[in-house]
Each structure stands twice: as structure tokens, then as C-alpha cells.
Amino acid sequence: MDQFVQFFFKHKWSTFAKGQLGFANRPSWLVILLIALALGALIYFLYLRPGYRLNHQSRWGLITLRAGLLALLTIMLMRPVVVVPSVIPKSTSVAILADDSRSMQLSDENGRTRAAATQAVLANNSSFTRNLEDKFKVGLFGFSTTTNKLAKADELKAEGAATDLVGALRDAVKESSGAPLSAIVLFSDGGANTTKDLTAELRELRARNIPVFAVGVGNPDRFKDAENARVTAPRRVLVGSAVIADVLVRLNGYGATKISLAVSEDGKALKTQQFDLKGNEAQTVTIEFTPSAPGAHRYTFEVKPLEGETTLENNAQDTLIEITDEHPKVLYVEGEPRWEYGFMRKAVAKNEKNLVLVSSLRSADGKFYRQGVESGGELTQGFPATSEELFTYQGLILGSIEANFFSFDQLKAVEQFAAKRGGGMLAIAGSRAFDGGKFANSPIAEMLPLTLNDQVDEIETLVVQTFKAQLTARGRTHAVTRLNEDRNLSAKLWDELPLITLPEILTGAKPGATVILEARHQSDKARVVPLLIEQRYGRGRTMALTANDTWRWRMELPSQNTSHETFWRQLLRYLVSTTPHQFEVAAGRDVYAAGDTVLIQSEVNDKKFDAITDAQVATRITKPSGATIDLPLKINFGEKGSDYRSEFTPDEVGLYRLEMTAKRAGADLGAAKSSFLVTERTREFHDAAQNVELLKRVAAETGGKYYPLAKADDLLDEITLLEGKNSERVSRDLWDMPINFMLLVGLASAEWFLRKRKGLA
């Protein structure tokens, strides 16, 4: 557009946009009136006098052409100009910010690296630098994690581990001394990977009338990349459990493509799996594997290189997973002897070495059959009498037992078990469960992922099998439904399971709940209701299983089929997988890049899981080299509760171990352990294509403009035309615009052609 305007109108569009039109030789109104009368008389003599031999249409055509020609000549003689603001030479300064981070090493600028292309534009002998220095005092800065004043562009090394754009803009204003700062010219690929508030900084620049002219470096149209953008995996896993990780893969410059994703544990290959991805978008893939042994392990997820990738630096991501050898306790309360109870206990006992299943089965009024208890006094009343006793468990299962069995305080303690303690609660269908157990108006109804009905009479458990379990889209990759490591074989095993019974039909899944399994009616195929459903509740999770005879998956299948045992083992492990301990310590993230500031957080609770806020808490940090640091933690009162925290900056790469101790009045309260990883990988190459949208936003919100690197010279006019205290108004001639001479020739030629055609020439 600018080239078109400049070709016809001599100046760029910015000149007209910021200028005012006028005349350098503007005569008085009397002279203008006399000229107009003279032109009118001439036109009358030539074309309108009586007896002139032209028809009406031709006559007015010649009048229009001649009038236009004479008017154009008159305007040119009046010397039209555009008056624009122009910076007084050397009265103000411009700060040039050049990105000096590692992402500038990428070669997508016509075969050159981004850094080399930037250096060429900013070289001392370049037209850009010369023209800018003719008008301004220029300061050159390189920025990455810090901002540094440079003498010349050759000092840019593109070795910074991060890009602090906010800090660079702030430092450019601070370091520009002497002449007032007119503008900031930003050369960058748009990377900004710190947590500082960019919006606030742009608002401040706009208020101070300092526009940012952003020059985008890197060709987004030629950028080809398969990036491992993010890995989502559990932070802590019980030994023997499978890890299910979601990996976000972002494709740029590729169509539909098959990728290979490899997983390694502490550098040792575990698994490689192929996935078909759609082109030019981000897509999540799920990969599963089983850790080798207890301990804190570094897992690397790597997308194998594709042909023609611009960078391989972002193909891998690390995560840290702690494989624990704990023995979490699950309390199962059942109101009546039934096969579901016996087969579930047998399934867990046969295959589970870590989970401790403690059960209380009501055999008669006031009598309970207890299994797995640690002492004769445990669960003598069938259920914990206090929240402190209940909170010693990590998981809770409520079977076919009515709401009236519990006191209101016990029902409230169950609700708090998930909300406050962070435990996992599972409700299993039966004649005295859900609506049949009259839970609709109890605290239990609030926490269940299904909506209950308080208008239901006593229900009678059905004895016929009428429903078939089937996987939902979420259930196909869920930890509970993994009957085989191969998900296709797992789905086949689900198809082979016998029919089951739903004693009551519950269809109201709450907003935010996730249906893992559905039950399809075998006579009415369109009738599909939730079978296994979950939701987050407070700090914990709640689940509901609406069938009461999954034992058929054991009794009606061959002995070598272990689907029933696998299902219950994984369901109970999943139930307690996120339950926190009374004392916790952890870093804010599992993985940090070298140079990052690490946040250490600790929870110290009493047996009711109320925060203890007057403890003396310290963490011993063991570095990868074995050296230790003792770091005191201070109480922090936040919106979501109280914890203890502090920060420190690691100086080594590798695995760091945390050991927290809490004391009060000299007495030990408790301790906790955790780990985090500091990796040499940098965030610089994630989402490494030029971030055009960010650069345009920076320019737009400060009153500047965005330019690609190839058109960097075009911004010189924009900066020169800035209006302010250090600018003056100058006139630029418009009489000699090429369009004027084109119009003169065109009008004269058109008149001659018409006169020739009518025999007047």
C-alpha cells in the first residue's frame, strides 16, 4: 500500500495521515474570484457561444475536460503542500532494543539466523542506522534475562536463556539519559517468557507518550517445527501404578503427519509410540508407561525429529515424578452382606500389595464385621466417631448403607473428608445407596457427582442384568479403565464384560463432572446413563459407581480373565492418588530451568487438617552435588488457606531434594520430603515462531506500529513525523506529485482526442 501511495503521490501514506493540506502560494479571495470569472469567460467563448457546432453531450464533455485541466493548473500554481510535524534533528533520542536471547539463533530469515539478520540492519554503515542517527541520538541495547547497553550490533551473541521483554522496555526508558526519549524500536521474534505484567508496562509507556515500533524478526511462513509444548503427568504415583501422561504437540508448517513420541526414565528408554496428528495445530496425545522402581525419577518425553524442522531444541520436555512405596488406607463401610463386598475385597487382596483396605460390614443392628483394622478398638461403632479418626484414611467407600445410619456430624465429616482433608470418596450403588438411602438432603448429596432426588420412595434392587458397560471418550484414556497396556486391547476387554444391574437410574450428572463409563440398556439401545462418574470436590475428588454387581465380571468370565481385579485395583489407587498428607513440602513446579527462582511451599496441619500457623518450619535443600542449604519458611496467609513458603535460586543443574521439619514450642510436629528438578533446557525455543500478534499488540497499545524485518526502513518516516515538544512543523510540496502530471497529460489528451473526433482540431 505504501509503495502504491508513494509512486503516485510522492510521499508515503503516513505523511498524509499525520499532515494537514494547504497552499504555499495562496492568493486573496478577490484574485481567486477574478481567475474563476476569467476561466468561465474562456469556456463560454470556446464552447457555449451561439452558433457553436457541437451537440449538447459533446459540448459538456469538452467543457468538463477543459475546466478540469485549467483547475489543475491553477491548483499547481498555488503550490499545494502538506504540513507535517518533524523532529528537530538531534533534539531527542531513540532507544533500540535488540533481542539477544537464544531463540535468535534460529535460521529462518532467508538462510540467515535471526541474530545475523538483525545485526545487518543495525550495522554502523547500514542505511537504517545512518538515517536514524541523522535525526536522533540513538542508544542500542541488547536484552534477554537482563538489558545491556551496546556500542555496536556485533556485540549481540544470542545466548540469553530467557526473554524479559517487560524488563527491557522498563530499562530502555530508565537508561535513556540526556535528550528526551521519543520512541523505542524493538527488534525481536516476539518471545516473552517471564511472568512480569506486560499490560501494565505498555499502559505506562502510553501514558508517557513513548511509542514502541516493533520490528518482527523470523519468517513465520517458512517456520517448520514439531514442538513438545507441554507434558501433564501426576506429581506422585504409587509404586506399581501406570503413569498416564498427556503431551501437547504443536505442529507448524506441516500437514497431517505421523509423529513418534519416546519416553525415557533417567536417560533409559522406556517406550516409543506413534501418533497421527492433524497439521498446523496443537493436539494432545496420551501415552502410558509403568515406572521401574520407587524414587524420584526424571522422565523425558521427546518428539522424534521430522524432516526440515527449523529447531530441535523444543522437541523434548522433562518432568519429575515421585514413585512412592506408601501404604494408603481406604475405609469401606457396607450396610448389608452382599457379593459385591466380598468380591471387591477379594480382588484387592489378590492383586494389591500397597493399599490397605479396612472394611466395616454391618451384619446386624449394632454389630459389625471388621477386616483390616489395626486394633480391637477401631471402628467398634461401624464408622469413625470423629473427623480426626476419619481423616487418618486416604480413601473412603460408602456401600449400600442409608443416610440415617450416620449422625449429622458424621455426614458433615464425610463431606469435609473430601473438601478439607483432600481425600477420595466413592459411593457404590445398592438398595440403601443414593436415592434409596435418602441421601438427597444430606451433606453427602453436595459432594456426589450425580444429582439426587428427595421424592423417591424405598427402592427394591433389581435382579436382572440389563445394562452393558461402555467407555466414554474420556474413559478410553482414563487410569481406572486401563485393563491392558494396549488401549485397543483394553477396549476389546470392556466389550467382552458381562451385563450388569443398575438398582436405580441416576441420570443427572452435575456440571463439571466427568463420566468415565456409561451403561447402555440392552433392550432400549438409545437409553444410556452414567455408570462411573467423578468430579473434583474441594481439595479431593468424589466418584459414583451406579452398578451393584460388578462381581459378575469375575464370576461369568474365565479364570484367566482378570478384568474385575484390575478394575477395582486401579479404581482404588486412583481414588487415593491425589490425597495429601498432614505435612507436605514441594516446589511450586516439578521442573525449573537454570536461573529460575524456585518457590518452596509447605503445609503444616493438625489432625483435623486445620492449618497450624505458629510453627517453626525449615527445609533442608540437598543439591545435586550433595551440598545442603537450610532454608527457613515463613507463614503466608492466602485466599485459599495458609502455608509456609520461601524462595531461592539454584546454582546447579539436576535433582534437588527437600526435607521439611516443623516444630512448635520446641516439640516436633512432623516432617515431609519432596524433590524438584532443575534442567538445562530453556523455554526460549518453545512456541519459537515469530509471535506476530504479541509484537503488534505491543506496538498498537503504545501508539507505535509493527513492521516485518524486510521493511524496517519504512519506520523511519513514522518516527521522524512524531509530534511533540521537540518537533517542528514543515511543509512538503505536492505540486510536483507524479499524479498531477499524469492528470495533466490525461486531461489534455482526452480533450484533443474528443476535438479531433468532432473535426475541431
How far is Cα 373 from Cα 370, in angstroms, rounded to an integer? Answer: 7
**pLDDT score recorded for residue 745:** 83
What percentage of the chain exceeds 70 in pLDDT? Answer: 88
Say yes or no to pLDDT of 326 above 70: yes
Residues 223-247, mean pLDDT to the nearest whole number: 94
* 550-608 tens-digit pLDDT: 999 999 999 999 999 999 999 999 999 999 999 999 999 999 988 889 999 999 999 99
Element (H, E) at 300: strand 295-303
Say yes or no to pLDDT of 164 above 70: yes
**pLDDT score recorded for residue 287:** 95
Band (111; pLDDT cuts 50, 70, 90): confident
The verdict on domain 583-683 having CATH code 2.60.40.1930 is yes
Beta-carbon contacts of residue 359 (< 8 Å; ≥ 6 apart) = 331, 332, 333, 334, 341, 345, 370, 371, 372
Band (150; pLDDT cuts 50, 70, 90): very high
Say yes or no to pLDDT of 463 above 90: no
**pLDDT score recorded for residue 355:** 95
Say yes or no to pLDDT of 55 above 60: no
The full set of domain ranges for the chain reads 2-86+730-757, 91-222+689-723, 225-324, 329-576, 583-683
Residues 492-510, mean pLDDT to the nearest whole number: 92
* 385-414 tens-digit pLDDT: 999 999 999 999 999 999 999 999 999 999
Say yes or no to pLDDT of 123 above 90: yes
**pLDDT score recorded for residue 18:** 67
Cell numbers found for residue 449: 457427582
**pLDDT score recorded for residue 470:** 96
Beta-carbon contacts of residue 224 (< 8 Å; ≥ 6 apart) = 252, 253, 254, 306, 308, 309, 310
Say yes or no to pLDDT of 179 above 80: no
Residues 503-526, mean pLDDT to the nearest whole number: 90
Say yes or no to pLDDT of 200 above 70: yes
Say yes or no to pLDDT of 131 above 90: no
**pLDDT score recorded for residue 87:** 63
* 662-681 tens-digit pLDDT: 999 989 999 999 999 999 88
**pLDDT score recorded for residue 42:** 65
Q: 3-state secondary structure string, 462-513?
A: CCCCCEEEEECCCHHHCCCCCCCCCHHHHHHHHHHCCCECCCCCCCCECCCC
* 594-612 tens-digit pLDDT: 888 999 999 999 999 999 9
Say yes or no to pLDDT of 44 above 70: no
Say yes or no to pLDDT of 259 above 80: yes
**pLDDT score recorded for residue 71:** 77
Same fold yes or no, 329-576 and 583-683: no
Chain mean pLDDT for the chain: 88
**pLDDT score recorded for residue 760:** 59
Q: 3-state secondary structure string, 133-153?
A: HHHCEEEEEEECCCEEEECCH
**pLDDT score recorded for residue 350:** 82
Cβ atoms of residues 690 and 708 within 8 Å? no
Number of Cβ within a 10 Å radius of residue 123: 15
The verdict on domain 91-222+689-723 having CATH code 3.40.50.410 is yes
* Bridge partners (DSSP) listed for residue 257: 277
Number of Cβ within a 10 Å radius of residue 512: 9
Order of strands, sheet of 395-398, starting from the edge strand that comes earlier in the sequence:
367-371, 356-364, 329-334, 395-398, 424-428, 540-545, 528-537, 514-521, 467-471
Residues 733-755, mean pLDDT to the nearest whole number: 77
Q: Of 2.40.50.140, 3.40.50.880, 3.40.50.300, 1.20.120.140, which CATH number belongs to 329-576?
A: 3.40.50.880
Q: What is the DSSP letter of 620?
A: E
pTM: 0.80
Cβ atoms of residues 92 and 726 within 8 Å? yes
Please state the CATH superfamily assignment of the domain spanning residues 225-324 in this structure.
Answer: Immunoglobulins (2.60.40.10)
Say yes or no to pLDDT of 716 above 60: yes
